Amino acid sequence: MQYDDAKIEDMVLALLGAFEFDNGRAWKRFDFDVMQTLFDKGMITDPRGKQESVYLTQAGLVKARSLAQSMFGKP
C-alpha cells in the first residue's frame, strides 16, 4: 500500500503536538526519515544525537497544536 508522505509528516507533527510538554518539548520515537524531514522543514530541532527528545520550533509548535486539535480534538 502506498501512503502520502505529506500526510504522514502531518500526522507525526500532530502527535508531537498532542504529546508535547515543557512548552514544545516532545519525545522523538518516530520514523527517522519523517523526523529528518520535519527538521529540514524547520518544524523541530535536530533529531540526531543521543538526546531522547526534540523541541518543536515556534512554527512547528503552532502547526502541531493546530493539527492535533483538528485530528484528535473532541468537538
- For the chain, the domains span 5-72
CATH class held by domain 5-72: mainly alpha
Residue corresponding to grid cell 526519515 = 33
Is 80 exceeded by the pLDDT of residue 31?
A: no
- CA triplet 7, 8, 12: central angle to 5 degrees? 115
- pLDDT band per the 50, 70, 90 thresholds, residue 3: confident
pLDDT at 2: 76
Give the up-direction half-sphere exposure of residue 47: CA atoms within 13 A in the CB hemisphere.
21
pTM of the model: 0.72
